[in-house]
Chain A
Amino acid sequence: MTSPASLRRRLATQLIGSAAILAAVLILLFLSFSRQIAQNSQDNILLASATSILENISVRNDEIVVDIPYSAFSMLGSVSNDRVFYRIDNDDELLTGYSDLPRPDIQAATNAFATRSYLDADIRTVSALKVIAVNQRIETVIVTIAQTQEGLTDQLNALFKQALGIGVGFFIISSILAIIAVNRVFRPLQDLATSVSGRGPNDLEPFNTAVPDEMVPLVHALNSFTGRLDRSLSRSEDFITEAAHRVRTPLATVRTQAEVFLRRVRQDNNRTTLKDMIRAIDESSRAAGQLIDQAMVNLRTDVLDRKEVNLGECIVDAVQRLQPIASLRDIDLKLAPMDVHFAHIDPILIQNAITNIVDNAIKYSPPETEISVQIISESDKIIIRILDQGPGFCQDDPRTLLGRFVRGQSSTDKIGSGLGLTIANDVFIAHGGGLRLYNRQEGTGACVEAFLPR
């Protein structure tokens, strides 16, 4: 029993197995009892037959005279259709009957039974004796009656069928009871499992439900495990925030100082160097921010904190936060009127993804163009479509842009890290959806479609 298969199945198998053994024992006991009873009743009638013959043995003219009463054999015939054999001996000398019929050992006893074989059949024989005086001699007359056992066998076969019925019934009932009992025993375990899996991803509180004694250690272990998990999760969140600050604050300081310096420098080649420096700082800062975002996204996509939210509102909220940057470049952000779509999503992640996509559209479009954001509801999915009037994707297969740190050729003069679309794609895949990138058919511009399953 080393297999780690279901405990419930193991317990049920063992209980049902014992029920089967008990049922078999029951059948065997029943059969042995009934065989004994049936054999006893055959023996009784055989003995009655032998006795009735013994009573009709007399002595006439110094001769032993046997006068078998008609009832001696007809009583045997009234019980079954078995064959009847007999012999009557004076000590070892046959008086009448079947001379080769085997006799049971009869010594001191007045009667004896035996099961023997005769004329190709199993027979039950009884011998009974009587001592009589013949001409002043003591003679022993032994009457042996035998009957085949077909009637007995028929009777036992009928009983066997009954016993089998009882045994099978017993087995079925106890199996049902066993299954009910097993289910009841395992219910607390199942309840615990349901309460564990039913918890939200951030709910790492200890379990306080009452459990049977045997499960207390398990719940203790579970609680200490969730405790450790809780601590390590908050530690890594802390680490990410900490890292962001540690990188971004000095970068911001360096950038400010470089700008101040740039204002004072007049020499052209020095100015170019300083501009390159500022740009590199911007790139690093952007990359740090995106890396932190991606780390956050990865952490959250493991267990989505889904909520029932209005998708339209959620997107409008994210897009409007980019309004200032868009205005800076005279880009018109157009939000198509959005119906109320309730969706079961992690809003923080979805907003982050939408921000990255719209941010690209603003970044790669020329000034005084238009960006439109639409929500399209289809039977099996919701599509969020972001269209711009920029140059579009230059790659033959835009899907390569979804890879980490992959940037397009058009973007050499734009600051970026190549992680934006990767983050967006990860978010939608975690929701069971995905991203589709293509260039617009009419006019120029890129189109990004993000879809969520319904």
Chain B
Amino acid sequence: MCRSILAAIILALASPLPAFQIQEETVFEVDKKAGALRIISTADIDLFAPIIKSFQVQNPMIEVHYIGVTSTEIMTAITQENEAFDVVISSAMDLQIKLANDGYAAPHFSAASDRVPGWGKWRDSVFAFTQEHAAIVLSLDAFQGLDLPKTRQALITILRENPDRFRNRVGTYDIRESGLGYLFATQDARTSEVFWRLSEVFGQVGTQLYCCSSEMIDDVSAGDIAVAYNVLGSYATARADIADKIHIIQPEDFTTLMMRSALLPVNAPNTEGAGLFMDHLLTLAWSAPRSADFPFPNGTTDETANSAKLRPIRMGPGLLVFLDRFKRDQFLNAWEATILQN
């Protein structure tokens, strides 16, 4: 395959791209080791651990290495540095689709993969295992005395009317760094013009940029920021310890729905183990009622049926559009011009 050339494209469309280095590797050891599985993932290890542990209950001889990275690092590792992993888990749907489109993902067929409905998989290579909202998380403390906004428009009004209270206390993804942040932002922009007006206001009050949802949530609970925009709802809901300090909004004008997905790279060293893990993950994700071992919103409920405000991101080649060099440059330029106006 023409890896080098493809890599050049990736370089072009995602520059500047940090070289891949393992940031955080967690090893789930076993007593008698008969094989190892390397999972590269964007999901927080604390959240994901129960899935690995229940996998090891069924397969007690497989040692699992969990490597937590950002979604852009996954692209670098796989397309450029040809690193060998067995399972790739990412919240950046567009990058997962691109990996499959460019031939880095192996198709997988099993009883478990049959459970996944057509809208939850692409080319039998990319399999969704969650449906998660892009939420707005507010600090209850910071909003004391104010009506809690239910729509983006309401949030714009509040921010405009109270510029001092929220000065530099708004947070969102640094979409230049975070693949998920970029995905959320592009989908927002695709759905409604209100995204650009909101960004304009964010730019005016001053916005903190983050790499990850969990840090944003931490900062909201600590009171460092008052508003975190486009945060993974699942992460916020999972934090029972700070439930009384934060308020999670699924905006009523529209709420983007993202699917976390898994794929098996074509160069996986342990294909058998990878298949077993994929089946385990999909079985947990797509069975009702939700298993206690599964920390994410369950996939079996087709959320879109419940509410008209939900805008699911559909898997398909459309997601490749915003990965185009021109498209990305234009989008980032516009975004920088609004958010980073100071």
Contact = CB atoms under 8 A, between A and B. Distances in A.
B9 interface: yes
B316 interface: yes
A66 interface: yes
B103 A68 contact: no
A65 B326 contact: yes
A70 B330 contact: no
Interface in B1-24: 1-2, 5-6, 8-9, 12-13
Nearest to B9: A98
B317 A84 contact: yes
Given A78-B316, A84-B320, A68 B5 contact: no
Contacts of A67: 326-327, 330
Contacts of A77: 314, 316-318
Contact of A73 (B2, B103, B190, B321): B321
A83 B101 contact: yes
A65 B6 contact: no
A224 interface: no
A119 B1 contact: yes
Contact of B320 (A69, A71, A73, A100): A73
A84 B324 CA distance: 13
A99 B9 CA distance: 8
Contacts of B324: 66, 68, 96-97
B320 to A, nearest CB: 5
Nearest to B124: A81
B103 A72 contact: no
B317 A74 contact: yes
Which of B2, B8, B100 counts the most chain A CB atoms within 10 A?
Answer: B2
Nearest to A78: B316
**Residue in B100, B314, B317 with the greatest tally of chain A CB atoms within 10 Å:** B317
Interface in A360-390: none
Contacts of A85: 101
Given A83-B123, A98-B9, A99-B8, A66 B326 contact: yes
B48 interface: no
A70 B318 contact: yes
B321 to A, nearest CB: 5
Interface in B75-114: 100-103
Chain A residues touching B, range: 20 to 34
B311 interface: no
Nearest to B327: A68
A74 B100 CA distance: 16
A70 B100 CA distance: 19
B325 A96 contact: yes
Contacts of A99: 5, 8-9
Contacts of A121: 103
Contact of B123 (A81, A96, A120): A81
Contact of B321 (A65, A69, A81): A69
Contacts, number: 72
B143 interface: no
Interface in B311-342: 314, 316-322, 324-327, 330
Contacts of A78: 316
Contacts of B101: 83-85
B100 to A, nearest CB: 8
Nearest to A57: B326
A76 interface: yes
Interface bracket on B: 20 to 34
A95 B101 CA distance: 20
Contacts of B319: 73
Dominant SS at the A interface? mixed
B317 A73 contact: yes
Contacts of B294: none
| Most chain A Cβ neighbours within 10 Å, of B5, B12, B316, B322 | B316
A67 B331 CA distance: 10
Nearest to B315: A77
B235 interface: no
A65 B325 CA distance: 11
B28 interface: no
Given A67-B330, A84-B101, A95-B326, A76 B5 contact: no
Contact of A65 (B1, B123, B318, B330): B330
B9 A73 contact: no
A102 to B, nearest CB: 12
Contacts of A70: 190, 318, 321-322
B122 interface: yes
Contacts of B314: 74, 77
Contact of B9 (A65, A97, A119): A97
Contacts of B326: 65-68, 95-96
Contacts of B123: 81, 83
A85 B326 CA distance: 16
Nearest to A66: B326
A225 B261 CA distance: 93
A76 B317 contact: yes
A46 to B, nearest CB: 12
Contacts of A69: 321
B267 to A, nearest CB: 14
Nearest to B12: A96
A386 to B, nearest CB: 90
B122 A119 contact: no
A74 B316 contact: yes
A435 to B, nearest CB: 83
Contacts of B100: 83
Contacts of B12: 96
A97 B98 CA distance: 12
B5 A72 contact: no
A308 B243 CA distance: 114
Nearest to B330: A67
A85 B317 CA distance: 9
A370 to B, nearest CB: 100
B23 to A, nearest CB: 30
Given A84-B101, A100-B2, A119-B1, A68 B321 contact: yes
A100 B325 contact: no
A267 to B, nearest CB: 128
A65 B330 CA distance: 9
A121 B102 CA distance: 11
7 contacts: A66-B326, A68-B321, A70-B322, A73-B317, A81-B122, A97-B9, A100-B5
Given A73-B320, A121-B103, 16 more contacts: A65-B326, A65-B330, A66-B326, A66-B327, A68-B324, A70-B321, A73-B317, A76-B317, A77-B317, A81-B122, A84-B320, A96-B324, A98-B5, A98-B9, A99-B5, A119-B2
The 8 closest A-B pairs by CB, nearest first: A74-B318, A77-B316, A84-B317, A73-B317, A77-B317, A66-B326, A96-B325, A83-B101
